[in-house]
Structure formats: C-alpha cells, structure tokens
A and B are shown apart, each in its own frame.
Chain A
Amino acid sequence: MNVTFTFLDWLWVGLFLALMVGSGILFYRLGRRSESDFFLAGRGLPWWLPASSVYATHTATDTPMWITGVIYRHGMAGIWYTFFCGWAAISAFVSTRIFRRSLAYTQAEWNVVRFTGLGSELLRGWMAGWQFFMNMFVLGWVGIAMGKVCEFLFGWPTWIGLVVFSLVCAIYVLASGYWGVVMADFQQGIIAFLVIIIVSAWGIHTAGGPTGIMDQLAALGELDRINPFAFTGWWSGDFPIAWFITMMMIAILGGFGMGTTIDWYVEAQRIQSSKTVRDASYSIWWGTILGLIRNSVWAVAILAFFVMFPGLTETSEYEMGWFRLGFDYLPAGMLGFFFAAILAIHLSTISSHLNLGALYATRDLYQHYVNPKASQKKLILVGRISTAILLLGSFFYGLMMEDITSWLIFALWIMAAGIWLPNILQVVWWRFNAWGYLSSWIANLGFSWLVVWILPALNVIPPLPDYQQFWILMVLGALVYIPVTLLTKAESMDHLVHYYVMSRPIGWWGPVRREAEQRGYLLSNGEAVAEAAYLSRPASDF
C-alpha cells in the first residue's frame, strides 16, 4: 500500500515535529539544572503529567499491531491479552506507594535501599546493566516497527523510518532529559488518544456502525466474537480458562510486588517524578486505565475491520488492520494528521526508553561504580552520552531484529516467570534477602532454558503451553530461592528498621516492626511516630 500525501498532510507532520522539538528547546534550562531534573523532572510533577506519560509511553507503534493481532484472532476475548497491565490496579495503592517512599531513582537502586552488603550491590549492578540492554532492545523493537509502518505506507526502506524519527526524538531528549520526555508525552498522549478515537469511530462507522458489525458477525456465524468470556474449555484450545486464571493472577496479584512485569521499570521513573505519594498513586492508576479504555475502543474497531476483511490468515496482513482503517478510509487532508498521531505514539515510547536507559547507565553504573563524586554537570553530560549510545545501539538492534526476536521474546518470558513470586516476596516478607533474590534470577535462567527449550527438544517433556511453563518455573525456582534465603543471614536489622520506617511496606514485617518500636522510632499502638527520636537516631542506623 502506498499512500499519497497532499500539502496539508505534510503540513500536519511538519507542525507536529516542530512542536515536539520546540518543547525540548523550551525545557532545556530545566533539564540541565541537576541529575534529578534530567531524569526525574526534579521530583515535582502533579499526578496528571506522569499519568499522561504512562499512557503515552505504553502506546507504541507496535501496540496497535499487536492488539489488532489478538483481537482479530480471538475476538473480544483477546482483550484479556492486553490486561497484563492490570498489575497497576493494586500497585497504585501498594507497591507504588512503597517504592515512592524509598526515593530510589531506579529499581536497581531500590535493591540497596531494601537489601544490604555485597548481595545488594551485585543486584544493583546486574539490574542496571540488564535494564540498559533492555531499553536498547525496546528502542530497536519499536523503531523497526516504525520502519515497517513507513515501508507499508510510503514504500521506504525500513531503516529510514527507524533512523529518521528516532533521531528527531533524540534532539529533545538530549536537550532537556525527562522534562522534555514528560512534556512531549503530555501533548503526544492527547493527540494519540484523540486520533485513536477518531480513526476507530471512523472505522466502526464505515463497517455499518455497532449494530451493523453485530449483524455481519451473525451472518458470518461469528457472533461469539463479541463475548469477552468465549473460552475454549478448561484446559484445551487456544483460549482455555486455565490460561485466563493464570494471566489474571500474574497481572493483578503482581501489583503487590515490584518488577513483576517489564513495564514496572518504566513506571518506576514516573512514580519517582511525582510530587507526592498521592500523586504517584494516581499517576499509575489513571495512566493505566486510560490505556485499558484505549484498548477497548481499539478492540471494537478491529472487529469492524474483521467484518470488512474476514478470513485473513497471514498475521502480517491482519495486524496492520487498524492502520488500514485510517489510511484507507480517512478523507484527504486527515491522512497527515493520522500519520502525525502515529509519530506521537512512536516518539513518546522512544523518548521514554532513551531517557530511562540513560538513567540506569548514569545513576547506577557511572555514578555509583565509576565516579561517585561526579558533579551535577558531569552527570548530565554522562546522561547525554548514554542517551546517544542507546540511540546508536537501537539502530543496530532494530536492523537485526528479525533474527533475534524469538530469542528476545524468550528472554522477556524467562524474566517474567520464575521471578514473579520473588518480586513480590522482596516487598512483603522481611526475611527474604538479597541472596534469595539473586538466586531466583540465576535459577530461573537455568530452569527456563530446560523447561522451554532443552527438555522438549530431547522429548523428555512435551512442548507446554506458556501458562503451564509459568507454574512449573514458579515451583522449581521456589525450590532454590526459599532454601537459599533461609540458609543465609537475614539482612542487618539496622538496615531493615531504617527501610521499614521509611517505606512502611505491607506484609510480614513483624520482627522488624517490633524492633523499630523497641528503638522508639514507632510507638506500639501504631498511632504515633516518635519523629524526634527517629530523626536523631545514631548514624549506624542510616
């Protein structure tokens, strides 16, 4: 498909890009003030700004393709695939609150707030390096999706869409850091949401409206596609109830932990950039529900696409369905506006991951391990250099993405399965220590290779559905990290008391709480904090 743009279309695109780069220049002075400004906007944002960033960042170029794919295949039931972000429901009032109180810049830094000694440093270093790599990978993944969209629309080689728009985005990220990211995200979020509504409504109208879609589904014998609970049995088919229960458990109960999904690492930055604990909670809650409502609108539009083009079997054909609704049916002059919205979707994701990856490189690797006495000016310079390295690395990943995608999806999966429970335990159980957490990562790496690849290849076990792999990996991992935790020393009580008083975690923290009460930092009725006593505590308790 080749789209022809009029002058008005290119005008929309040009105005939009000028607006984005302009905001970078506008916030340049704020971004260069300090490390806290360059990466957290000075920790002073009202909830609606990080909320719009949560929404905009998780509306990426590949999101409509992915959602179109699952809805086209499974009908409305496919919306549950998008519910992985439901972790934010509980997290907003539990782990978000606890993490915000820790003040850690990143999840890697949180490890040294929660744990202590060599184990905590190993965790910090590992997590920072892994997150730097992951952000580069996501940039490549999303960048090449943009390359494919441009190839689909204009017939350009894929590298052009990958390189050109990521470079434009890098201008304002390099200039103003997170200030530029969040201010651009706010504008991009509004533009993207409006256009998603307009294009979807246009598509639904073109397909005959809601009743027309249902009539056509009935004529096709596919009316069950509007039933979100159209399961294929308890264990069988491609949408079993067992999968649904596992998915909902992972998503919803995951909100008690930190890092139970890959999105947590992005949200952690939004949480810390919020002005107060309350702002942090609402930013996560409202940013996520906006994304879920967007998914609902998309789902109906994809069913409209389905009745117009039923029977498509090639994924590459039907996953562009939502884009086709826009480019095939919007009137001339609106195409450029639609493309500008796609750019908004794209830039918001790219900018967030550029700044986030640079945060891990600067705060957790450079500052903590290379140059702890670095000045603020130096830290911002390192932040900018890291941003540039991420950008260049993402081009490399993007161009080789076809070859490595299946391996990297596997890498994402192993990250989620065996350490899901440890990610919760580190928040809710005082006795869980750095060695237990570290061992869960190592054990998970080994077991996931065995369960997902090696044992099925040797015909020792059959290839298992992903939800069964999840349960097996969870049990196998627990057989390692629970003994390791109990056989190694608990974290120092001084450190735990400090963490407890500061973060007030939920769960099983009885011995730590009693110790805090004994030291006079908390009163036993829980109604008053001996603030003066706490603030004048000995330095060894810090």
Chain B
Amino acid sequence: MIKRHWTPQEADEWRKEDWIAIVLSPLCYILLTLGTALTIFMLVSGYIMLGVGIVLTVLLHWVIDPKLKAISTEYESRQQQYLSELEAKVRWEHRNPDES
C-alpha cells in the first residue's frame, strides 16, 4: 500500500504518498490546534482531537519521510551545478536562449 523504499529517481515523481501527505497535513494542523486548546479545558472532545492529531502526525511522517530522504539524496548530487548556474545568472553571465 505505502511505498517505503524509494530510488532517488522514483522519489522525484509526484506519487500517492505525496497526496496522502497533502491531505493528512492540514488535518493534523487543525486537530492539534483545537485538540490542545480543548484538552486544557479537560474536554473529552479535546482529548480525542489531540490523540487523533498525534497519531495522524506520526502516520504523516511515516509515509513521507522515506520519500523526502530519497529526494534529498538525489538532489544533493546536483546542487553544486545548479548553484553555479544561479550565480552565473545573477552576474548576467547566463545566456538566455531567447536573446541569442
């Protein structure tokens, strides 16, 4: 169901694990925010919200972390070249194909 082992190249694609994170993440924010406040008031609804929020936060990271690690590994190998291109651009050394 959930892919836990990614090659760096596979991780670069937008897959269902990304969409799970996109859906879960705002839910975690809402549940943790309301759950904290209502838990301080010692309301049952607060305990439930906070509990579900914590479980979903753990799940969110369990789903997305292996993919983020793989993306980072892949990207780091190229970062230096991209940085030198960016520096060339800010110094106007970069030739824009449109202007050639």
> Which one of A204, A527, A542 lies within 8 Å of B7 (CB-CB)?
A527
**B34 x A296 contact (CB < 8 A):** yes
- CA A231 – CA B83 in complex, angstroms? 50
**B13 x A372 contact (CB < 8 A):** no
**A289 x B32 contact (CB < 8 A):** yes
Given A101-B75, A104-B86, A277-B75, is A293 in contact with B36 using a C-beta cutoff of 8 Å? yes
Whether a CB of chain B sits under 8 angstroms from the CB of A211 is: yes
> Which one of A86, A94, A495 lies within 8 Å of B97 (CB-CB)?
A495
**A93 x B21 contact (CB < 8 A):** yes
> Which one of B36, B72, B88, B94 lies within 8 Å of A278 (CB-CB)?
B72
> Which one of A112, A293, A504, A540 lies within 8 Å of B89 (CB-CB)?
A112
Q: Which of A362-376 contact B (CB under 8 A)?
A: 363, 367-368, 372-373
**B33 x A492 contact (CB < 8 A):** no
- CA A257 – CA B65 in complex, angstroms? 22
- CA A143 – CA B92 in complex, angstroms? 38
Whether a CB of chain A sits under 8 angstroms from the CB of B22 is: yes
Residue ID in chain A nearest B29 by CB atoms: A89
Chain A residues bordering chain B, tally (CB within 8 A): 64
- CA A39 – CA B25 in complex, angstroms? 29
Whether a CB of chain B sits under 8 angstroms from the CB of A292 is: yes
Whether a CB of chain B sits under 8 angstroms from the CB of A299 is: yes
Give the contact-size bracket for chain B. Answer: 35 or more
**A363 x B90 contact (CB < 8 A):** yes
Q: Which of B41-100 contact A (CB under 8 A)?
A: 41-43, 64-65, 68-69, 71-72, 74-79, 81-83, 85-86, 88-92, 94-100
**A367 x B90 contact (CB < 8 A):** yes
**A368 x B90 contact (CB < 8 A):** yes
**B25 x A278 contact (CB < 8 A):** no
**B91 x A372 contact (CB < 8 A):** yes
**A300 x B75 contact (CB < 8 A):** no
Where chain B touches its partner, the secondary structure class is: helix
- One digit per residue, 1 when the CB lies within 8 angstroms of any chain B CB and 0 when it does not, for chain A 63-103 equals 00000000000001001000100101110111001000101
What's the minimum C-beta distance from A273 to chain B, rounded to whole angstroms?
Answer: 14
**A292 x B29 contact (CB < 8 A):** yes
What's the minimum C-beta distance from A197 to chain B, rounded to whole angstroms?
Answer: 11
**B40 x A296 contact (CB < 8 A):** yes
Q: Across the interface, which residues of A come within 8 angstroms of B89, CB to CB?
A: 112-113
Q: Across the interface, which residues of B come within 8 angstroms of A299, CB to CB?
A: 37
Residue ID in chain A nearest B7 by CB atoms: A527
Whether a CB of chain B sits under 8 angstroms from the CB of A218 is: no
Given A292-B32, A492-B97, is A93 in contact with B64 using a C-beta cutoff of 8 Å? yes
What's the minimum C-beta distance from B46 to chain A, rounded to whole angstroms?
Answer: 10
- One digit per residue, 1 when the CB lies within 8 angstroms of any chain B CB and 0 when it does not, for chain A 93-136 equals 11001000101100001001100110000000000000000000
Given A93-B64, A295-B33, is A252 in contact with B13 using a C-beta cutoff of 8 Å? no
**A289 x B29 contact (CB < 8 A):** yes
**A373 x B91 contact (CB < 8 A):** yes
**A89 x B25 contact (CB < 8 A):** yes
What's the minimum C-beta distance from B82 to chain A, rounded to whole angstroms?
Answer: 5
**B25 x A494 contact (CB < 8 A):** no
Q: Across the interface, which residues of A come within 8 angstroms of B7, CB to CB?
A: 527-528
Residue ID in chain A nearest B83 by CB atoms: A103
Residue ID in chain A nearest B17 by CB atoms: A93
> Which one of A88, A276, A295 lies within 8 Å of B72 (CB-CB)?
A276
What's the minimum C-beta distance from A253 to chain B, rounded to whole angstroms?
Answer: 9
Binding site for B on A (CB under 8 A): 76, 79, 83, 86, 88-90, 92-94, 97, 101, 103-104, 109, 112-113, 116-117, 204, 210-211, 213-214, 226, 228, 252, 255, 276-279, 281, 285, 288-289, 292-293, 295-297, 299-300, 363, 367-368, 372-373, 492, 494-495, 502, 504, 506, 526-529, 531, 535, 539-542
- Extra A-B contacts (12), CB below 8 Å, given A86-B30, A292-B33: A83-B30, A86-B26, A89-B25, A90-B22, A90-B26, A93-B64, A103-B86, A213-B41, A285-B25, A295-B33, A297-B40, A529-B9
Can you name 11 A-B residue pairings with CB atoms under 8 Å?
A93-B21, A93-B64, A97-B68, A103-B79, A104-B86, A117-B96, A277-B72, A285-B25, A292-B29, A528-B9, A535-B78
